[in-house]
Structure 1
Amino acid sequence: MTAIITPDYQITWEKLPDDYKLPDDPVDNINQPFLAAALTESLELAGKLPASALTTTNYGICATLNGKTVVKAPDWAYIPQIKVSREEVIRSYTPQLEGDIPVIVMEFLSDPEGSEYSIKFTYPPGKWFFYESILKVPNYAIFEPDSGGLEVYVLDQDTGRYNLHTPNENQRYWIEEMNLYLGVWQGTRENRTGNWLRWWDESGQLLLWGSELVEQERQRVEQERQRAEQERQRAEQEQQRAEQERQRAEQERQRAERLAAQLRAAGIEPQD
């Protein structure tokens, strides 16, 4: 990225005015709600979404620049802690005033004009400029669902600019503030087969969705059933072997009695 000349904005954190008309645009792509919901669900089921945290989907995040309200709605964002009740952030969220700055915002690339990369700093500012220079979000992810391309940018505390993050050997990006890896996974969920953003913990374990946990439990129950069936068969075989041994012993006893009877008939008293 080229250097960004930042104008002298006076940034204040004010609640969105009640009469402010939020854009009522539909989502850019039918896949966006599914991608966002999947990110939140796995965090919640893994116990990594505290009650004080907030995830947003196409939801307005506000700042006031030189007295003018700016609202951007990232496709997904994670806010570690809000300081107000959830009822107070129904329409929008204002960092600093109502809680923490998001630690990551995501845009699912769909705009052919590339607004996700806009460094426009005149009012109203572009998304990139807003996240980098106004909100100062530590991590900015741009995901292209069709190709599976993922770019993660990390805010350089010295320069105040985003630098392209380097993935690990598994092509996953470490999000330090969440203690999680973010990466691309291919598969099916809710009748959509394609590329998904997924979380992995520090040991490399995938954070599962509800459907995967259900399937995992089904497999565990099936394995338990198979083990129980194998144990039943083993016990049955053991019982059959014991019965065969009892029958063999009985046959041996009867043979000994017949032999003793034959010896007595011949005038021979059998030895014990």
Structure 2
Amino acid sequence: MYQADPPRSPQESLPTMYDLPSEEVGDPGLPDEFHVFQPRLLEATCLLPNYPPNEVFTASDPNLYYDGRHPLWYKRPDWFLVLGVSRAQSQQDLRFSYVIWQEVVVPFLVVELLSPTTELDDLGQTLREVNQPSTKWQVYEQLLRIPYYAVFDRYQSRFRMFRLVATCYQEMEISDQKFWFDEIQLGLGVWSGLYQNIEGLWLRWHDALGNWIPLSEERFEQEKQRAEQERQRADREKERADQLAKKLRELGLASDRV
């Protein structure tokens, strides 16, 4: 479990997710379609073999409030994964946002989907003015110290992974566009395929053998294929048994046991 440092002034009464806004004032508009579909694929294939579902929380484009000293400052990750924090069990408890000083646990992984307008900020290549909120990179690396940070540039077909080493992110070597997480026994990589009837390159989770974690509809189709193969196998076995019984009868060797 990865935990954030407590606020510097715990005696202060800090706002909860119910008190903080869940939408950015003056936001230029909704995310593009890729920023809608890609997080859905990450969510649908993020099936951790060594964590029960009630100990895993994922979210896409929420307000992530990260600093108890500045409770109105937030970032909006395209997608993130938290270990040791569960989803709400009832509709009325669904989160409005993710508030670090309320949840305590920081994300294990954040994924940002690069676009021309956000690339510099996402890669830590912009400078902030004094008394202004930190960049996403600074928040993830220096304030929250999130262990893993992934960025995917669909325009350049480039997947990059950064790991927190000591106090700084270091870019990790990626083999065959895939990266393995020992901690969760799952890998993240670039898959070329059809999702939501859209052909392209997508980030997707895979198992230890490199097999892509199937979607629910893919699992259903696989089960149908296995059932059909089993039916065909049973039919072949019955046909061979019938042929053998027929041959034995023709030879006069059939018995009551045949």
Of 48, 55, 58, the match for 1:55:
58
1:175 matched to 2:181? The reply is yes
- TM-score, normalised to structure 1, is 0.75
Q: Corresponding residue for 1:191? A: 197
Describe the SS at the equivalent of 2:103. Answer: coil
Q: Measure, in 1, the Cα distance between the counterparts of 2:180 and 2:9.
A: 30
Following TM superposition, by how much is the alpha carbon of 1:112 offset from its aligned partner in structure 2, in angstroms?
3.2
Bigger Rg, structure 1 or 2 = 1
- TM-score, normalised to structure 2, is 0.79
Amino acid at match of 2:169: Y
Following TM superposition, by how much is the alpha carbon of 1:135 offset from its aligned partner in structure 2, in angstroms?
1.5
Size of the aligned set, in residue pairs, is: 236
Q: Corresponding residue for 1:129? A: 138
Q: Measure, in 2, the Cα distance between the counterparts of 1:135 and 1:88.
A: 25
Cα deviations by residue, 1:19-47 (Å, 9 ceiling, x for unpaired): 53622754432022222122222224867
Amino acid at match of 2:162: Y
Contact 1:74–1:107 (CA<8 Å) still a contact in 2? yes
Contact 2:181–2:187 (CA<8 Å) still a contact in 1? yes
Contact 2:205–2:213 (CA<8 Å) still a contact in 1? yes
Cα deviations by residue, 1:85-108 (Å, 9 ceiling, x for unpaired): 565562111124314110100011
Following TM superposition, by how much is the alpha carbon of 1:187 offset from its aligned partner in structure 2, in angstroms?
1.0
1:32 matched to 2:41? The reply is no
Describe the SS at the equivalent of 2:55. Answer: coil
Q: Corresponding residue for 1:211? A: 217
Following TM superposition, by how much is the alpha carbon of 1:229 offset from its aligned partner in structure 2, in angstroms?
1.6
Contact 1:146–1:194 (CA<8 Å) still a contact in 2? no
Distance 1:45 1:211, change over 3 A: farther
- Structure 2: gaps (5+ residues): 1-6, 254-258
Q: Corresponding residue for 2:234? A: 228
Q: Measure, in 2, the Cα distance between the counterparts of 1:11 and 1:63.
A: 14
Higher relative contact order (CA 8 A, sep 6+): 2
Structure ranking higher in helix proportion: 1
Describe the SS at the equivalent of 1:15. Answer: coil
